[in-house]
Structure 1
């Protein structure tokens, strides 16, 4: 009996196999102190663990120069995390192991796998669970600090909310954009070249297949990094003026070159487009089934054979017949999925399909998969609530305040690089 497929791990898992010049180190090397941040150390081991986690996420490093650039970036990331956790302690904020493990479990659930499977996947790629837990703890600590210290000073008035909604209504039918953003801060002229090189490397890796959201979580210096760089839906007039020109001319699904702004570099992508106050396609619910096929040496010939076979699918009862004809390694139901929860490439492949239609073959990890829509419930048109608008405006303002807060912590810290 064909087992029921109950995960989207092959589609949603953002971690990919790592490779590159991560160098072997002796025990003495990994215990070497690299930096001291207000009397707390960062060791070579800490750097090695984070680099392995990042290369597992963003893909291989090609050259020694890229390795050196990433190492500098990782040191700065770890310094910032030390400062964030230290500030949480200063503000009497405690992050428990239970909270950290809960966030880890949420990361696993986001990929429709268990926490144990997530740990196993990390181990398989040579990345440790401890490295991601340390990052999670720093992220939680900073969220609490920002909420405790900055959010009380936010004041989004009813007038601002009303003006935003009036603007939406006056722009009804105009284009609206779902933007992904990564921001790399340049805090001093000395970091200009290094940050530019990092931005260029990240763009290349995203274009070569690294998941934009995963890169944003690891590298972005603004609050949207915590949600994979997702800004939500923004009409053209409300797009950050620094990046608006690039966003408006960027084809959907593509990533921009690094965009230099006053305080750093942006990397942006347009994940989706729609019309203002139209139905949100991300809210569409689809019932999916999949056919999983083992790749062959002749990928082009296999692709043509798969497309010929799946074109005969008229309804989902045809799937077992087609799967058998293709010698599928597996097939079954993925259940009901919200389009907005799928990675952008998969979202785009499915969004316009009707019941009984199949995607083109999708390369996911070590498999080739075809997804078939077996049920579909399109979203309804609705206006955003006042609370949603207030939350959107608050997060925009909070992101800027948090960046200034961290900059001040860096300025006041005693940081000794060894």
Structure 2
């Protein structure tokens, strides 16, 4: 029954995400725009949250993104109430003080400052309350599962904190999450997570997975660890071949995914996360970057010599960049991670290429064992919490009005 259902909704699910939209414009600030189980989200709350995030100078703010965040917070607060993990007034005040301290202000000063920008005090309180309550829920439920062993830390250190040229061989199972089957899906996901052999996982992928990789038993082959989303990649540093991740939510899709680690290798000396990158960025006409790399590789022996082979009279084509690796955009960093000094690589889109000049460790920036343990612990918690929230969403009644 479950297999037939998952197969039936898989393709339709992946094609239909994003089709929902508000049915009509609200006529009043306090008219509801979304129903979430027994509660509502009003237009006032949406506009207030947008203004609050603008004051905080967050980038990429959209109305749909704000509504999604408020939906999540309703579910998080409801779960906190169910588990009796709600904040007391003293705990809420402490959380607000900690948040305001990031701007070197007291909670009272922070509230007054945002009030001058049109943000109500309740908006700040609600934002902090939801985040703090959810952290407590996640801590209670998953702190034991997210513990990081000494062996896991040793493994991460040996692989350069997992941000170098490490490659992973993975298999996947994608399970659609719909209200009518959420319990069955969660039960099956728990069974899959306990699997230890490739054969078991492949059989489950062929039977249940809604991904095109199901025909290959979920196999994805080898890929650079740096190509994976930053929320997922650190998980594999604490896993052994055959281990399966917790259920992970897929962005913009009502589905969860489980990944089995089948192999891990490092084809070059490890690249620490905390390094400065020195490289040339060369822009080309669309679709010509790879051809330019092939033309220049036999001719260019140093980064400076690239100027002798590319015309750049107005200084817009060639850019000499020095920046921390952690500040380099993901796609560009993924290409650079695969290069040795003086090697070139075309960037995704084939409209630019990079030539690596050097990598330089940032003095005093290496992670300590304690830092690395905390980072791995937080990543584990975040991934477990993401699956938890996806399950809450799947079981919720959510209607955009």
TM value normalised by structure 1: 0.46
Tell me which structure has the larger Cα radius of gyration.
Answer: 2
TM value normalised by structure 2: 0.48
